[in-house]
Amino acid sequence: MPLSNGNNKQSECSLEPINLNNGYEYGELRRQRVLCGWDYEVETLEKWKRGMDAKTRSLFWITLPATDAKPSNRVGHVCLNSDRDPPELDLANPDKSIMEIATFFILPEYRYGGLGRAAVEMLENCATKEPYGSQNCKVITINTISRRYTENDGDEWRGVYARRGLKAPPKGKSVEDWYASMGYVKWKEEPRYPDRLLDGTEVKLIAVFMKKTIQ
């Protein structure tokens, strides 16, 4: 059953469970992951499917009502995890006391009007309820790229975008700050995200780990 939100301009936004046994949905998820730029390999999607079968991973479409002009209403996707492989109990715990928001992507043309915020709020709500979450859930975690890649000038920070052949995001638009505005607090940073520069150098970008107490 879709999970809906009725609090803002994106009140028609809902979360619809993804069925990776459906060929069309599988293909659409892979298409969106390719647009996202990582975790699009078939092996990764198969791993996610196994997690869904084990009920440690819940993947959702972020949906808006379909229209004649836009018959496809699946405008993004997001995941709620209670386990990691390999395990990281401070990020996601199988007893569902700690759950993780991950694999969060919205198509670029829909990144406005509070859609992302609405999706996160719905996940926070369902994290404390069966079948996707548990009343045991006390904390939700996320991890994202450090705000320093957006806010700090320097070859190792904003300069990394040019070295990857990408345009740097505007200052004041870091994802870390966006999560902080919703009450998520940073508790650690570490090199985590593998990437490759234009000259072939392999690097690990700094990830920031954030959490929010929800009850």
Q: How far apart are CA 15 and CA 3, in angstroms?
A: 5
Residue 215: per-residue pLDDT: 85
Q: How many folded domains does the chain comprise?
A: 2
Q: Return the sign of the alpha-carbon dihedral for residues 85, 89, 92, 97.
A: positive
pLDDT at 4 over 60: no
Task: Identify the domain boundary among 80, 111, 137.
Answer: 137
**Which pLDDT tens digit goes with each residue over 102-131?**
999 999 989 888 999 999 999 999 999 999
Residue 207 has pLDDT above 90, yes or no: yes
Specify whether 157 is located in the same domain as 113: no
Question: For tokens 């990144």, what's the residue?
Answer: 111
Q: Is the pLDDT of residue 137 over 90?
A: yes
Binned at pLDDT 50, 70 and 90, residue 9 comes out as very low
d(CA 176, CA 190): 14
Tell me the residue range of the domain where 40 lies: 1-137
**Is the same domain home to 114 and 21?**
yes
Q: Are residues 157 and 129 in the same domain?
A: no
Local confidence band at 7 (pLDDT 50, 70, 90 cut-offs)? very low
Asked if residue 118 and residue 67 are part of one domain, the reply reads: yes
Q: Residue 71 has what pLDDT?
A: 60
Edge-first strand listing for the sheet containing 74-81 = 3-4, 14-17, 57-63, 74-81, 98-106, 139-145, 202-213, 185-196
Q: What is the pLDDT of residue 70?
A: 66
The arithmetic mean of pLDDT across residues 188-205, rounded, is 94
Same domain, 83 and 131: yes
Encode pLDDT of 76-104 as tens digits: 999 999 999 899 999 999 999 999 999 99
Query: Do 118 and 152 sit in the same domain of this protein?
Result: no
Instruction: Note whether 113 and 155 are same-domain residues.
Output: no
Same domain, 26 and 131: yes
Of the candidates 131, 5, 18, which has an alpha carbon nearest to the alpha carbon of residue 74?
18
- Look up the CATH number of the domain holding residue 43: 3.40.630.30
Greater pLDDT, 135 or 11: 135
- Stretch 141-167: mean pLDDT: 95
Contact 194, 202 (CB under 8 A): yes
149 shares a domain with 83: no
What is the pTM assigned to this prediction? Answer: 0.90
DSSP structural state of residue 213: E
What does the DSSP assignment read for 84-114? Answer: -SS--TTT--TTSSEEEEEEEEE-GGG--TT
Last residue of a domain, one of 137, 168, 189: 137
Final residue of a structural domain among 120, 137, 154: 137
Backbone angles phi, psi at 128, to 5 degrees: -100, 10
180 and 92: one domain?
no
Share of the chain above pLDDT 70, in %: 92
**Quick one: pLDDT at residue 62?**
96
